[in-house]
């Protein structure tokens, strides 16, 4: 049995609406049309999809129809969603608590929008090492889709499913480097020489080294090779792959299908982080096999582990507690946008890698670093401003009053031990924030406050909605909490 697993990455860092809409027309629409077209043709057609929370939020905001179309496919069981950090960030390497929070946030978002769970995860750019695998298992996942294995003798065996040696029950599936890169980066240069028959022969050869082949693509592929007719090529390939009667010899599967398959007999362990972005540029020799826990290097892969990148990200994640304590959603979103993977790649000194990853390179790495630090300074300033405003609001608020419609007033006055009930008080009554009447007569005592307030509330009884605020002072000093509550029922 030869099994083909098709997977796609769908992401768009937070940005301007115009940029999302441009990608919507050139990338997202062709991709969804490809899925819908083949779902109609082939009942067995299914794919895995790694979609970031940033993309989902922007789709809800700028083109809700994208969500509706994905939901229809999910309801028919045609999409296997892969769990991933919500903001497609490197939080795992800098802030474990943030990493876990992003994984839970993504899980809830997928369930709320599509009503499904994600038993298999895929980290940004399909990163993998032993510690990532253990973290995923701790969060309840039982499978990981990982990037290819660069510069190793075992790449020939990447078309298999492995148990992770350092985990109790975790399996890892590997992206087929050669087949995936051929479609993502080399397709346009090989056409028209590369035919469907040629690509199928490559698949058949790959199947001789393991029958579970994963072709994983960034959806940007549909825009990158639009002129080379990548969509039509994939349509024709699927027709050939599935044309055999009953699908006895060939089939399509999802990540969950492969992770739950029986017959897995081999284990694998990686102490260095690998990812599929580095497959074309990574010159390191990755060591495989059983390793001591102390030898595991929990660091990002090549291209994301530069000195300046680490400095910026360390400072950025150190700023996170202050940002999140403000509970300002706009500020939190702005902060999370700085953690996006594309921005980190843009800081890389590796020109070849940046050209491979980024669709456009308008800024030099040092310019991106300077821009990121400037945005961090802006965030710090806004955090300080928010806290000053909150403190001022706390100091201004003396009494909070319940607000309801069509009131029938009743007033309760709390007489504290340090308050002389016979001592004169000054009373100020406000409706909807505007001063209505001020009482400063020495004859107004705490005992008479109740009748004063009832009189004022009744005077406004015809209003549908209003707020009553009362300030009481005694001996020229505020008497806090002397008014227990005003109940307007």
Using one digit for the tens of pLDDT, what is the confidence trace for 52-87? Answer: 999 999 999 999 999 999 999 999 999 999 999 999
Q: Is-cis flag, bond preceding 192, omega within 30?
A: yes
Query: Are the C-beta atoms of 378 and 449 separated by less than 8 Å?
Result: no
pLDDT at residue 227, as a whole number = 85
Q: Give the whole-angstrom CA distance, residue 143 versus residue 188.
A: 33
Q: Give the whole-angstrom CA distance, residue 255 versus residue 82.
A: 8
For residue 358, how many C-alpha atoms fall within 13 Å in the half-sphere facing its CB?
23
For the chain, the domains span 2-295, 323-396, 409-488
pLDDT at residue 34, as a whole number = 96
> Residue 485 phi/psi, 5° resolution?
-170, 155
Q: Give the whole-angstrom CA distance, residue 103 versus residue 123.
A: 10
Q: Is-cis flag, bond preceding 200, omega within 30?
A: no
**Below-70 pLDDT ranges, the chain:** 149-156, 244-248, 265, 278-297, 350-362, 395-489
Provide the β-strand partners of residue 121.
83, 144
For residue 201, how many C-alpha atoms fall within 13 Å in the half-sphere facing its CB?
5
pLDDT at residue 410, as a whole number = 45
pLDDT at residue 396, as a whole number = 63
Q: Give the whole-angstrom CA distance, residue 77 versus residue 254.
A: 10
Query: Are the C-beta atoms of 143 and 120 separated by less than 8 Å?
Result: yes
Q: Give the whole-angstrom CA distance, residue 282 versus residue 280.
A: 6
Q: Which residue has the tokens 């490559």?
A: 202
Strands 161-164 and 425-431: unpaired
Query: Are the C-beta atoms of 417 and 458 separated by less than 8 Å?
Result: no
Query: Are the C-beta atoms of 260 and 173 separated by less than 8 Å?
Result: no
Length of the chain in residues, anyone? 489
- Residue 365: CB partners within 8 Å, gap ≥ 6? 308, 346, 347, 348, 349, 354
- 2-295 folds as 7-stranded beta/alpha barrel (3.20.110)
Angle at 298 between CA 261 and CA 356, to 5 degrees: 80
Kindly state the helix (H) or strand (E) to which residue 488 belongs, with its residue range: strand 485-488
Strands 143-146 and 425-431: unpaired
Here the tokens at position 155 are 């790449």
């Amino acid at each position: 049995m030869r099994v083909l697993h098709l997977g796609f990455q769908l992401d768009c860092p937070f940005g301007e609406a115009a940029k999302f809409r441009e990608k919507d027309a050139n990338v997202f629409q062709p991709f969804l049309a490809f899925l819908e077209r083949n779902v109609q043709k082939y009942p067995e057609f299914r794919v895995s999809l790694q979609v970031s929370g940033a993309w989902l939020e922007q789709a809800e905001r700028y083109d809700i129809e994208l969500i509706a179309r994905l939901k229809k496919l999910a309801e028919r069981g045609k999409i296997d969603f892969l769990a991933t950090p919500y903001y497609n960030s490197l939080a795992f390497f800098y802030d474990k608590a943030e990493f876990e929070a992003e994984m839970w946030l993504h899980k809830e978002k997928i369930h709320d929008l599509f009503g499904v769970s994600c038993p298999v995860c895929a980290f940004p750019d399909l990163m993998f090492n032993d510690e990532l695998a253990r973290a995923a298992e701790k969060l309840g996942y039982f499978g990981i889709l990982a990037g290819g294995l660069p510069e190793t003798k075992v790449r020939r065996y990447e078309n298999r499913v492995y148990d992770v040696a350092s985990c109790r029950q975790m399996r890892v599936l590997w992206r087929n480097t050669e087949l995936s890169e051929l479609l993502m980066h080399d397709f346009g240069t090989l056409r028209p020489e590369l035919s469907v028959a040629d690509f199928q022969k490559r698949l058949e050869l790959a199947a001789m080294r393991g029958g579970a082949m994963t072709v994983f693509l960034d959806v940007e592929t549909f825009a990158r090779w639009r002129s080379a007719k990548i969509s039509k090529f994939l349509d024709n390939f699927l027709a050939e792959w599935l044309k055999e009667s009953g699908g006895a010899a060939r089939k399509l599967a999802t990540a969950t299908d492969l992770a739950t398959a029986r017959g897995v007999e081999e284990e694998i362990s990686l102490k260095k982080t690998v990812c599929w972005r580095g497959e074309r540029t990574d010159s390191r020799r990755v060591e495989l096999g059983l390793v001591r826990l102390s030898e595991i290097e929990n660091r990002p892969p090549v291209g994301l582990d530069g000195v300046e990148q680490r400095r910026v990200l360390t400072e950025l994640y150190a700023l996170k507690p202050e940002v999140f304590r403000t509970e300002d959603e706009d500020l939190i979103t702005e902060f999370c946008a700085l953690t996006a993977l594309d921005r980190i790649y843009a800081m890389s000194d590796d020109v070849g890698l940046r050209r491979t990853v980024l669709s456009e390179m308008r800024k030099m790495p040092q310019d991106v670093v300077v821009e990121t630090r400037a945005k961090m300074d802006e965030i710090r300033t806004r955090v300080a401003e928010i806290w000053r405003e909150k403190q001022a609001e706390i100091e201004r608020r003396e009494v909070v009053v319940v607000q309801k419609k069509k009131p029938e007033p009743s007033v309760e006055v709390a007489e504290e031990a340090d308050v002389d009930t016979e001592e004169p008080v000054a009373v100020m009554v406000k409706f909807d924030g505007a001063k209505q009447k001020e009482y400063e007569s020495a004859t107004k005592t705490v005992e008479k406050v109740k009748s004063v307030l009832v009189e004022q509330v009744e005077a406004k009884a015809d209003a549908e909605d209003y707020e009553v605020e009362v300030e009481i002072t005694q001996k020229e000093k505020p008497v806090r909490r002397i008014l227990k509550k005003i109940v307007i029922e």
